Amino acid sequence: MQRPDSDATGAARRVLIVGGVAGGASCAARLRRLDESASITIFERGPHVSFANCGLPYYVGGVIADESALLVASPALFRTRFDVGVETQTEAIAIDRSMRSLRVRDLRSGATRDERFDALVLAPGAAPVRPPLPGVDLPGVFVVRSIPDTQRIRAHIEERRARRAVVVGGGFIGLEMAENLLHRGLAVAILEKLPQLMPPLDPEMAAPVRAHLEAKGVALHLGDGLARIETRPDGGLAVVSEAGLRLAADLVILAIGVRPEVGLARDAGLTLGARGGIAVDARMRTSDPAIWAVGDAVEVRDVATGADVIVPLAGPANRQGRIAAEAIAGRTTQFRGVQGTAVVGVLGMTVAATGASEKSLRRAGRSDFAKVYLHPGHHAGYYPGAQPIHVKLLFSTPDGRILGAQAIGTEGVDKRVDVIATAMQLGGTVHDLAEAELCYAPQYGSAKDPVNLAGMIAANVLAGDMPLADWERLGATDALVVDVRQPAEFAAGAIPGAINLPLPELRARFAELPCDRTLWLCCAVGQRGYYATRFLLQHGYDARNLSGGFTTYRALRDAALVP
């Protein structure tokens, strides 16, 4: 019988785990598989362990009809399958590091007791932010963290026959809640302090999400924060914004973000990071060698920017739990950091991203990068039903390493972001994307998949074959914008000041273009503009392509980034 790391006396090593959802539950199950001899106990403040917190919005919406579906594993399963003790409704309240002892409180009886440990794993998660503003604790104001939260929301909707909801916050949870409340028949308004939805995205990539939600009937109030929540004379609520807007609501969801639960760690004197999360090494060990920490409460390295970040994502939390278990079992697996791959589906649109955004790169002080936009179909155009995917790819210059990608569309979005995320994880370049050999049949992709195209376009930029015009300088340049679309396309809408010279006429008419001005080429999505750029460059013009063409222009304009 193997007893890795069991102590010299032969007594079972005691491993205590605080928090039994993603990271904590993964850690317990993995540790048992590696070490039959350890005594393992999970303490969970709530009534459930290992529940599907990413499913909560869908349980509110009724898409997931049965609460029991959210319970991935029960305490009984942990006991019979893994011989792991689970103490629910038991809160960890203090760590005595010198005694290696954890004080816990039974929330039903109020009784406290001390539990000795050889190894302690903190997986406390993160709590939804409730800003210190008037009215945030009123009845009818909810956060979405636990199954009881969602039960309360469901009950409130039914009992009050709620018709109008205000969601404060337009990020992942906010959008998922908006979709699900709409699905339940409520009218939904979103109040978001930033001037864009989906804060992790760059603003122009979020712009189509806004248009989509508005088309679906969601009332959007962007660039305006929550000031207070009041009770209306009729018993309902009113959400008052910083700008003085007053939104009537029968239900308010606070989806402003989450804050790592570091109280226990901080009180025990464990080192916190610059961002306020629990500091850990690559094996998830805290500043105390007997204590590990995993999940939404820890600070980890962003592999794209090198910055320390707190990323509340289930995938990394699960993997961190495994790594902590492996470390406790004496193995040397290391966490590679996070790249922030994330996806949200909202009313038929998929929004996904991986790695750095342009704004996160700029925040990190980087300027050695370039970006391209493209809008390919999600599968071959000749097969019915192709839907555009809007892609932004960021890559470092001059080496072409992939830094990040954002994509939105209705089909095949997650696939392309997953592929780019994988290439990025392995240190891939845009050339690797260009050469990727991906599944192609007409209903699945294209001979040149959107991923290939993104890589090819970026490679053209790196090779100097496609000099890029600088969208940000559109209002401040004396370059001439030459739109090479057909006259009917141009007439339907164009960049102010642009002239029209359709691509099929370019070879015959290019001499009409001024030799002494920089030419910025524009088409619908960037492809014809690229062809024109290549032609003009080889005929001695200073030509640059507006990446993504008029489709990107509209998104930039909607995001107020160009005139």
Name which of residues 64 to 83 contact its own copies (CB under 8 A).
Answer: 64-65, 69-70, 72, 80-83
Distance CA 276, CA 97 (A): 20
Looking at residue 496, its amino acid is P
User: In the range 219-238, which residues lie near its own copies by CB under 8 A?
Assistant: none
What pairing do the DSSP bridges indicate for beta strands 258-260 and 126-128?
Answer: antiparallel
**Among residues 140, 174, 208, 316, the one that binds its own copies under rule CB under 8 A:** 316
Task: Return d(Cα 283, Cα 38) in angstroms, integer.
Answer: 19
Amino acid residing at 370: A
DSSP code, position 1: -
Residue selected from 274, 439, 488, 511 as contacting its own copies according to rule CB under 8 A: 439
Whether the Cβ atoms of residue 559 and residue 383 lie closer than 8 Å to each other: no
Nearer to its own copies, 160 or 539 (CB): 539
Q: Which residues are known catalytic residues? A: 54
Please give the backbone phi and psi of residue 22, each rounded to the nearest 5 degrees, phi first: -70, -65
Smallest distance from the beta carbon of 345 to its own copies, in angstroms? 5
Site for its own copies in 170-199 (CB under 8 A): 172, 176
Sole window of 161-169, 188-196, 357-365, 451-459 interacting with its own copies (rule: CB under 8 A): 451-459
Length of the chain, in residues: 563
**Shorter beta-carbon distance to its own copies: residue 8 or 447:** 447
* Preceding omega of 504 cis (within 30 degrees of 0): no
Two tokens, residue 121:
């794993």
- DSSP label at residue 161: T
- Cβ proximity to its own copies, 42 vs 64, nearer residue: 64
Q: How far is the CB of 319 from its own copies (least distance, A)?
A: 7
- 469 and 521 in contact (C-beta within 8 Å)? yes
Position 78, amino acid: F
Q: Looking at beta carbons only, is 17 or 523 nearer to its own copies?
A: 523
CB of 515 to its own copies, least distance (A): 12
For the bound state, the minimum distance from the C-beta of residue 163 to its own copies, rounded and expressed in Å, comes to: 26
345 binds its own copies (CB under 8 A): yes
Residues 259-298 within binding reach of its own copies (CB under 8 A): none
Judged by beta carbon, residue 25 or residue 562, the one nearer its own copies is: 25
The separation between the first and the last C-alpha atoms of the chain, rounded to the nearest angstrom, is 72
Of residues 140 and 428, the one with the C-beta less far from its own copies: 428
Which one of the spans 40-48, 287-295, 468-476, 537-545 is the region binding its own copies (CB under 8 A)? 537-545
Maximum Cα–Cα distance for the chain, whole Å? 91
3-state secondary structure of 471: helix
Of the two residues 415 and 544, which places its CB atom closer to its own copies in the complex? 415
- Tokens found for residue 470: 């600088």
- Residues 394 to 433 in contact with its own copies, rule: CB under 8 A: 414-415, 417-419, 421-423, 425-428, 432
Beta-bridge mates of residue 408? 351, 390
| Residue choice 33, 116, 232, 246 for contact with its own copies (CB under 8 A) | 33
Neighbours of 363 (CB within 10 A): 12
Q: Specify the residue, 38 or 121, whose C-beta has the smaller distance to its own copies.
A: 38
Helix (H) or strand (E) holding 292: strand 291-293
Could you tell me the smallest distance in angstroms from the CB atom of residue 305 to its own copies?
15
Q: Binding residue for its own copies (CB under 8 A) from 465, 489, 542, 558?
A: 465
Which H or E run contains 433?
A: helix 430-435
Q: How far apart are CA 236 and CA 223, in angstroms?
A: 25
Applying the rule CB under 8 A, the residues between 135 and 174 that interact with its own copies are 172
Closest approach of its own copies to the CB of residue 428, in Å: 5
What is the pattern of x (binds its own copies, CB under 8 A) and - over residues 81-120?
xxx-------------------------------------
Q: Name residue 480's amino acid.
A: L
Q: Which of 16, 22, 70 is nearest to 43 (CA)?
A: 16
From the list 244, 231, 259, the residue with the least C-alpha distance to 141 is 231
Write down the least CB distance from residue 360 to its own copies, Å.
Answer: 16
- Tokens representing 223 are 């660039």
One-letter identity of residue 446? S
User: Within positions 467 to 486, which residues make up the interface with its own copies, using CB under 8 A?
Assistant: none
C-alpha 335/C-alpha 263 separation (Å) is 24
Touching its own copies, residues 502-531 (CB under 8 A): 503-504, 507, 530-531
Residue of the chain from 129, 187, 314, 480 that contacts its own copies (CB under 8 A)? 314
